[in-house]
Amino acid sequence: MNIKLLKKENFAPVSNKIIFVSEQDNFDKYNFTVQEKNYIKKAIKNEIDPIVINQYDCINFVLLIDPKKEKHLAAEKLRKTGNNLIKQIEHYKIKEIEIIDELAVKDYTLALIEGILLSSYTFHKYKKAQERKKTSLHELSIVSEATTAKDIEELNSLLKGVFIARDLVNEPFSFLNAEQLAQEIKKTAHTAGFSFQMLDKKKIQSLKMGGVLAVNQGSAFQPTFSILEWKPKNAVNSKPIVLVGKGIVYDTGGLSLKPTKQSMDHMKCDMAGAAAIVGTFYAIAQNNLPVHLLGLIPATDNCVNSQAYAPGDVVKMANGMSVEVLNSDAEGRMILADALHYAERYSPELVIDLATLTGAAVRAVGIKACAMSGTASEEDKNKLKQSGFKTFERLIEFPLWDDYADTLKSDIADIKNLGNANAGMIVAAKFLENFTLSPWIHLDIAGPAFYHHADSYRGKGGTGFGVRLLYDFIKAKTE
Ligand code: BES
Ligand code: ZN
Ligand code: ZN
C-alpha cells in the first residue's frame, strides 16, 4: 500500500482538497472567490462530477452528496468517484490531498477512501523496476468528525487484506504451486498473527482425502491442506465459523481438458476462493475482531500426466462416499468435499465456502455478483446478502431443491461428479451438500473473482472479491 492514510483535526486552507457538500451549502468555510462559488452552484445544477476548482496553489475537488439516494448506492457511487479522482490526482501529479467531510457521514468517507485505495492497486512484481507504475499520491488525510483514526486504520488493514487476495490470484502457476500457496499463507499468518498449520500429502493420505488426492494425481507437485485459525480470548462465539476456500492453483481441466484457449489462459485464478479467505483472515486478525474463526484450504493444481485421474474412475472420499468421476474438470467439488467433511470436526456454528466453481454461475449471474446457496438459517443468509449490498459484493441466491440432485445419480457409485448441461451452479452445490451437516453457505465466485477488463476500482485481474464481504458479515456478528 503506497498511500499513507492520516487523520487530521483541521484542514489547511492552502492544500489540495476533496470536499463533500450538499446542495444547501454556501461553501463559506473554504477560500473560494464569488466566481468560484457561483461556478460550483452552476456545476452542481449541470451534474458535473467531480467539480474541479483549480486555484493554482491547490486543487479542489467538490463532490455533491444526494441525501435522497439509497445509502449503499451512494456509497458505491463514491467508490467509483474515488476511481475517477485517482485519475485526476495523477493528472495533476498531486502528492498529498485532504478529504474534508463536512457532512460527517462515516460510510461515505470510508467508501471514497476505499475507491481511491482499491484503484491504486498494481501487480507489477514481474516488471522492470523503472516500468512499475507508481501513484503520485502518497498521503491522504481525512478531516472528519464522524470518522475516527481507528476507523481509518481498520479500513487500511481491510484493504491490505483485499490486496493480499488480489496478489495471490494474480500470481501465476509458475510461482504459486500448492506448496508455495501454503508458504504464502504462512507468511501472512506470521504478519497478521493468526495461526497456521499445513497438512502434507502423507497426512492428507492418512485422512483418506480421496478427492484431494485424485485431483492431485496428475500433478508434478505435492498437494497441501492449510488450516488457518484465529481464536482470540474474547471471542463472542463458542462454536467457530469455518471458511473453506477452493485452492486449485491451476485448472487445465485434467484429462477432460478445457476445450478452448480462452477457457484456460486465466485459470491461475482458480484459487481465488482460497485467496479471499487468506485476505479475510489478515484483516480480521490485524483488526483484532473477537471471533473464533477457522480457514481450510485444500490445494493442488489440476493438470495432466499418465497418472491423472480419469473420467470413469471411482474415488472414495474422506467421508466414505464413493464418487464416479465423469469429468475431471469438475475438480473443485472433489477437493471442497473433503474440506467440508474436515470442517465437521469443529462442530461449526456456520461453514462458508468460496469457490470459482462453475462456468454456469458466470452464465447465470455474470461477473458483477456471485451465486449463493446453502442450508444455513434464513437469518444468516439474509445478513450475508445485506453485507453484499453494503460492500457491493452482491449475492444472488439459488435454491437447493432436492430434485436438482437427480442428475448426480450414478449407476456404479454413490454419486457422480457431473450433472447435465443445465443449472450447473445448483447441481454443484447439491454435490457439496452431501459432505456437510453443518449450517452452510456456498458462494460460487467464478464470475466476480477475476476481471478481463477493469471495471472502475476493480481493476483487471484478481479482484479480491469476498474479502470485504466476509469481513463485514463477520464483524457484524461481533457487534
Ligand atoms: N474452475 C472452473 C470454473 C470456472 C469457470 C472458474 C470460469 C472461473 C471462470 C471449474 O473447475 C470448472 O471447470 N467447472 C466446470 C464444471 C463442469 C465440468 C461440470 C464448468 O463450469 O464447465
Ligand atoms: Zn475445472
Ligand atoms: Zn476449477
Reported as a single tens digit per residue, the pLDDT across 73-126 is 999 999 999 999 999 999 999 999 999 988 778 999 999 999 999 999 999 999
Nearest to 272 by CA among 456, 457, 443: 443
Question: What SS3 state is found at 196?
Answer: strand
Residue 226 clears pLDDT 80, i.e. is over it: yes
Compute the chain's Rg from CA coordinates: 24
Instruction: Specify the ligand 1 atom closest to the Cα of 302.
Output: 11
- Taking the alpha carbons at both ends of the chain, their separation in whole angstroms is 28
Question: What SS3 state is found at 185?
Answer: helix
pLDDT of residue 414: 98
Cα→Cα distances 149→139, 154, 260, 317, Å: 15, 9, 50, 49
pLDDT of residue 289: 98
Kindly give the distance from the C-alpha atom of residue 426 to the centroid of ligand 1, in angstroms, as a whole number. 13
Kindly give the distance from the C-alpha atom of residue 337 to the centroid of ligand 2, in angstroms, as a whole number. 14
Residue 31 clears pLDDT 90, i.e. is over it: no
Q: Span 18-31, mean pLDDT? A: 85
- Which bound ligand lies closest to the C-alpha atom of 259? 1
pLDDT of residue 103: 79
- Number of CB atoms found within 10 A of residue 274's CB: 33
Q: Which residues contact 11 (CB under 8 A, 6 or more apart)?
A: 17, 98, 100, 143
The CA distance from 78 to 221, in Å, is 44
Cα→Cα distances 258→17, 192, 416, Å: 51, 37, 19
Mutate to test the pocket of ligand 1, among 357, 418, 444, 445 (most ligand atoms within 8 A of CB): 357
The CA distance from 426 to 445, in Å, is 13
Q: Is 246 a catalytic residue?
A: no
Q: Is 424 in the pocket of ligand 1 (CB under 6 A)?
A: yes
pLDDT of residue 21: 87
> Residue 22: which pLDDT band, with cuts at 50, 70 and 90?
confident
Nearest to 443 by CA among 393, 373, 388, 378: 373
Phi, psi of 159 (to 5 degrees): -70, -30
Q: Is 331 in the pocket of ligand 1 (CB under 6 A)?
A: yes
pLDDT of residue 72: 96
Q: Is 50 in the pocket of ligand 1 (CB under 6 A)?
A: no
Active-site annotation holder among 77, 80, 333, 458: 333
pLDDT of residue 261: 78
pTM higher than the cut 0.95: yes
Residue of minimum CA distance from atom 7 in ligand 1: 359
Interhelix angle 332-343/424-433, nearest 10 degrees = 40
Three-state secondary structure string covering 197-221: EEECHHHHHHCCCHHHHHHHCCCCC
> 300 forms bridges with which residues in the sheet?
248
pLDDT digits (tens, 9 = 90+) for 273-320: 999 999 999 999 999 999 999 999 999 999 999 999 999 999 999 999
Q: Is 448 in the pocket of ligand 1 (CB under 6 A)?
A: no
User: DSSP class of residue 189?
Assistant: H
Q: Which residues contact 330 (CB under 8 A, 6 or more apart)?
A: 417, 418, 428
* Amino acid code (one letter) for 207: L
Q: Are 259 and 252 in contact (CB under 8 A)?
A: no
Q: Is 270 in the pocket of ligand 1 (CB under 6 A)?
A: yes
Buried b (16+ CB within 10 A) or exposed e, 44-69: beeeeebbebeeeebbbbbbbbeeee
> Would you call the peptide bond into 50 cis, given omega within 30 degrees of 0 as the criterion?
yes
- Which bound ligand lies closest to the C-alpha atom of 465? 1
Residue of minimum CA distance from atom 5 in ligand 1: 359
The CA distance from 92 to 136, in Å, is 9
Q: Are 462 and 167 in contact (CB under 8 A)?
A: yes
Kindly give the distance from the C-alpha atom of residue 33 to the centroid of ligand 3, in angstroms, as a whole number. 59
Residue 251 clears pLDDT 90, i.e. is over it: yes
Strand 314-316 to 322-324 pairing: antiparallel
> 451 forms bridges with which residues in the sheet?
461
Residue 177 clears pLDDT 80, i.e. is over it: yes
pLDDT of residue 68: 86
Q: Is 258 a catalytic residue?
A: yes
Q: Which residues contact 220 (CB under 8 A, 6 or more apart)?
A: 303, 305
Kindly give the distance from the C-alpha atom of residue 240 to the centroid of ligand 2, in angstroms, as a whole number. 30
Kindly give the distance from the C-alpha atom of residue 247 to the centroid of ligand 3, in angstroms, as a whole number. 9
The CA distance from 265 to 252, in Å, is 9
Instruction: Specify the ligand 1 atom closest to the Cα of 327.
Output: 18
Cell 451452479, located at residue = 425
Q: Are 184 and 168 in contact (CB under 8 A)?
A: yes
Q: Where are the beta strands (DSSP E) in 375-414?
A: 394-397
Mutate to test the pocket of ligand 1, among 358, 430, 431 (most ligand atoms within 8 A of CB): 358
Q: Is 328 in the pocket of ligand 1 (CB under 6 A)?
A: no
